[in-house]
Amino acid sequence: MKLLFITQKVDKNDDLLGFVHGWLSELAKHCQSITVICLGKGQYELPLNVKVLSLGKEQKKSRGQYIWRLYRYIWQERRDYDLVFVHMNQEYVCLAGIIWKLLGKKIALWRNHPIGNFFTKIAVFLSDKIFCVSEFAYVAKYKKAILMPAGIDTDFFKKDYEIQKEMRSLLYLGRISPIKKIEVLINALQILKRKNIRFKAEAVGNYPARDEKYYYGLQQKASDMVLWRKGVPYLETPEIYNRFEVFINLTPTGSFDKTILEAMACESLVLVSNRSYERKIGTRFTFLENNADDLARKIESLFSLNSQTKIDSGVQLRDYVVKNHSLAKLMDKLMQEFKNL
């Protein structure tokens, strides 16, 4: 199998997309060759059968130059791929889907956002298969949609027995943006503070330039309750998960943040508002979306568990990830679906 893989960034140190590097390393074991077209590239160490072509974001190219390079690479490499896998960005299917159809290439799109638009519908129409992780994703309603494992490297994300989880510690790790609903966490912490419940909270992540006002508003509101840290390289995140007792994610239902599963793989307890988790990990580890009072109650409840129950729960959460969302599971499913195209 000769694969064209299209993604935002190839950089093993990127705080948000570092996992793509691991996916490519594993895919390379199953493919004759992989040609990667990415918007930008950083540091990577990939097998010899993986070729990385950048559209030039790291060189600050213009949008017009991105599009020109995209079409040039698609044509230039046309004999070196027979299947196209577009990861996350529907725009590439809209821009090049007709060309791939004329070239006789099959198209698979990975999209897991809760909201869609006119361009999503075009991308779905042009794609042969759609992959998503959540049954609440916008594209899950289409017949060609297939639910997939999230692809967590459970050999990399695991409990570090040399690190002691700090009691009553709370972690948010991810992008700082309004869609992440971090203000709900801040409101919950204020409730705990008023009740004199002791905790340590840390938020780790970067914010896009457009969300600078949102970030500083949060920081001002919670300066005495939350330690704010910039995003860290992907390779450093297991150490962070292992230091905290509870990982909190407030992203709305429909999305499926990989950070939740990464934390679970490190045997951290979690609290998530995504409804798709309720049937999978139980109501102890979920809270009502946009409800700070319920989140505060759930934090207090987890803090009150005895040590053995916390340990057993962490093992069970990791077991769920290993059985349902491991990188090995994802690779097996992808290869099966690719071969059936």
311 and 332 co-located in one domain: no
**Cβ-contact 85, 108 below 8 angstroms:** yes
What is the model's pLDDT at position 62? 86
191 and 312 co-located in one domain: yes
145 and 187 co-located in one domain: no
Residue 161 lies in a domain: no
110 and 259 co-located in one domain: no
**Cβ-contact 204, 231 below 8 angstroms:** yes
CA 99, 102, 108, 114: dihedral to nearest 10 degrees?
50
Distances 217 to 89, 183, 197, 201, 230 between C-alpha atoms, Å: 30, 9, 24, 17, 16
144 and 176 co-located in one domain: no
Which domain range does residue 132 map to? 2-151+327-339
What is the model's pLDDT at position 51? 98
Query: In the numeric block, which tokens belong to residue 132?
Result: 């998503």
What is the model's pLDDT at position 60? 82
For residue 78, the domain's CATH number is: 3.40.50.2000
What is the model's pLDDT at position 53? 98
What is the model's pLDDT at position 198? 96
Q: How many domains does the chain have?
A: 2
What is the model's pLDDT at position 274? 86
Query: In the numeric block, which tokens belong to residue 43?
Result: 């540091």
Closest CA to 174 of 14, 7, 11, 12: 14
101 and 19 co-located in one domain: yes
331 and 320 co-located in one domain: no
30 and 63 co-located in one domain: yes
**Cβ-contact 140, 132 below 8 angstroms:** yes
Q: What are the 10-residue block averages of pLDDT along the chain, 341 residues in total?
A: 97 94 97 97 96 92 92 97 97 98 98 93 98 93 96 97 96 95 97 97 95 94 94 96 98 84 98 88 94 98 97 97 97 96 91
What is the model's pLDDT at position 199? 97
Instruction: Round to whole Å and give the CA distance between 275 and 192.
Output: 24
139 and 237 co-located in one domain: no
312 and 172 co-located in one domain: yes
DSSP β-ladder status, 129-132 and 244-249: unpaired
Residue type, 258: K
41 and 6 co-located in one domain: yes
Residue 238 lies in a domain: yes
Closest CA to 287 of 174, 150, 185, 157: 185
Residue 55 lies in a domain: yes
